[in-house]
Structure 1
């Protein structure tokens, strides 16, 4: 395998305004994946289609994101990341505009796939922030950018729920396009050129990812466990708006407001990192997967409660499983980054490919479960996915031993 040539390390600290700019770019781009979820109930009525077809919108978006991470992330080592970010930002803007003017479900599904592929500019912004930072500031800078990414996931549902209810879903996609275009222009004008770090050909880069996947068993275990959690996470969020609309007769603004429960995710990242440093990431993954599973299963109690108490329990469950999912994700990143430091971006790309495959599967299965078995069927799916992830982590060897394990 051709060696990877590491570029010179940045010496000057990154200006706070540039860190804020990178965090905003990561947030705006990844938010594009989630805008549709609180609007699904409105889309069913407006496009005169059924739950199963509308459920394909988040499914295709997540499939596109997985494909974009797997096939496009390696290009950051081969080409100037500044140019890649600009190109993806422009294409993401066009995909969002295509969604805004879609005349039917077919065009919207095509646009959703394109949104997922191009929204992976977030996966170029995060390593770009690391490349621009000196070693002493790198953790803080990347952490801030990741906070922006998490806030993009959190606030996207809130924003889209409100905008769609009061102004329409087409306006939401138009607003999203304007925000992405604005931050893309700012990034293009402000970021320095970032030379390629390797001369490996594109096929060789993809081949190196295959060898990494084959070599490291801890990578495969982490990916499987996080992907299973993602099935439950996505099945919940992709069906929540439809369930709330049908059962509680709420609008998209209420569905979007449930996204505020995702604040637990932003809180989980530093806490999980601290626990992993003190006790090791393996124990944190077991705690996180157990918490997510229990939070999913708690919703089996909904039929026993009053409507107000049911909504309260859904909020509490969302906080609990989001905390568990994000804690497990941070700990899994700690595990895989220790395997081969020179290949961290590719290791991360491999795990996130699995994560978004899980997201896509969760969206598809969640819609089918809701259509065929109602909300209790969705809860059963969530609980099975969480339990599967917990079993994978429970049966995994300790991280200290696993870090050196190969297939």
Structure 2
């Protein structure tokens, strides 16, 4: 199949993916400031990113499958209005409860990236599908990690609420660009919404490659969430005495790791995907070993974060190349299964991170992160093709 995906359109889709997914992660470097303003503990405020990720998982289940049922562009542009409303609600929060509810809806609505990924896979030619997925996913990871840098700096100087006002403004600009440039794609599914949701379970039951990819992805993203949820607490401890700005600057380290992993999509187009995943998981395990020994060492944290993000994105990109092989017409529902488990794993990692930090501090965080990486390796070796 000849590619219908120009370089300019692919870049716009990657930017969209990064900017929208960033909404889910602005809060992480700001947790300390939020806790101080509302007068609550760090463990209590850590439920803000957890609820965002839970909302995201539910949005994946209820909204993303609609990409197989309705015109893609119309669905995307409509969803932007709800994202902007949720961002403004967070900015105007008057209590931790309102902030948590708003955070849930930010996650629920910011699922556009998971419509963009299968859209890119559909528009790309077979021989360039992995490359296209890798480019869009690199945009997503840069958004996840760059959001921390941006929100950390803005939060340090202008307060955490300004970050959400800024995010709402960026969504308005992006809406206009997409209305102008994004092509329309007709849906493949002809049934009812109930039948659409029921068919998601059938995808899970009938596709063993999807099941193991989703399990790997969920465990993989738990490793990611454990680190980034607790990093700001470690940096604010007496060992470093830093703030949200420095926590946000760690996003630059993660971006470097994500950029290094951008070649993985090309490798996955022609290499042994299981071998790529095995090596990537071993990198994640090694990175947690370095991080665990770096509770007082900023250089160790930087090196560990770099390789952690490299390994995590490598697993993720290769997983998605596997599940979209053959360009199946039910691509949005396949992506729904994968991403629901992916972000459920992220929410679990965030929840566990808050607990282990509260009771065991950084040592417990490192043990939890390494344990999830080890479970990922076991699952991969037992159930890989």
- TM-score category of the 2 structures, normalised to the smaller one: over 0.9
Which is further off, 324-333 or 121-130? 121-130
Q: CA deviation at 1:233?
A: 0.9
Give the Cα separation in 1 of the matches to 2:359 and 2:276: 35
Q: 1:335 offset after TM fit, Å?
A: 2.4
Instruction: Give the equivalent residue in structure 1 for 2:142.
Output: 151
Q: What is the match of residue 169 of structure 1?
A: 160
User: Match of 1:263?
Assistant: 255
Q: Could you say which structure has the larger radius of gyration? A: 1
Identify unmatched segments of 5+ residues in structure 1. Answer: 1-8, 403-407
Where does 1:32-43 land on structure 2 (aligned, <5 Å)? 32-43=23-34
| Counterpart position of 2:353 | 366
Q: Equivalents in 1 of 2:117, 2:326: separation in Å?
A: 19
In structure 2, the residue corresponding to 1:90 is in which secondary structure? helix
In structure 1, C-alpha distance between the alignment counterparts of 2:293 and 2:186, rounded to whole Å: 55
- State the 1:396 CA deviation: 2.6
Matches within 5 A, 1:64-75: 64-75=55-66
Given the alignment, which residue of 159, 173, 178 partners 1:182? 173
- Residue 28 (structure 1) shift: 1.2
Relative to 1, partners in 2 of residues 1:351 and 1:202: Cα closer, same or farther, differing over 3 Å? same
- TM-score when normalising by structure 1: 0.88
Q: CA deviation at 1:270?
A: 3.6
1: CA distance between counterparts of 2:190 and 2:155?
A: 46
Q: Residue 340 of structure 2 aligns with which residue?
A: 353
What per-residue deviation string (whole Å, max 9, x for no partner) do you get for residues 247-292 of structure 1? 3221111000111121244334443234445541111111111110
Cα deviation, residue 210, structure 1: 0.6
Q: Aligned ranges for residues 68-217 of structure 1 at < 5 Å?
A: 68-131=59-122, 142-217=133-208
Matched, 1:296 2:288: yes
Q: Which residue of the other structure, out of 279, 284, 287, is the alignment partner of 2:279?
A: 287
Residue ranges of structure 2 left out of the alignment (5+ in a row) = none
Return 68-77 or 196-205, whichever deviates more. Answer: 196-205
Which range moves more in the overlay, 273-282 or 64-73?
Answer: 273-282
Count of aligned residue pairs for this structure pair: 384
> Which segment is superposed worse, 384-393 or 271-280?
271-280
Give the secondary structure class of the aligned counterpart of 1:241: helix
Alignment equivalent of 1:323, drawn from 302, 310, 324:
310
Q: Is the 8 A contact 2:138 2:259 kept in 1?
A: no
Alignment TM-score, normalising by the size of structure 2 = 0.93
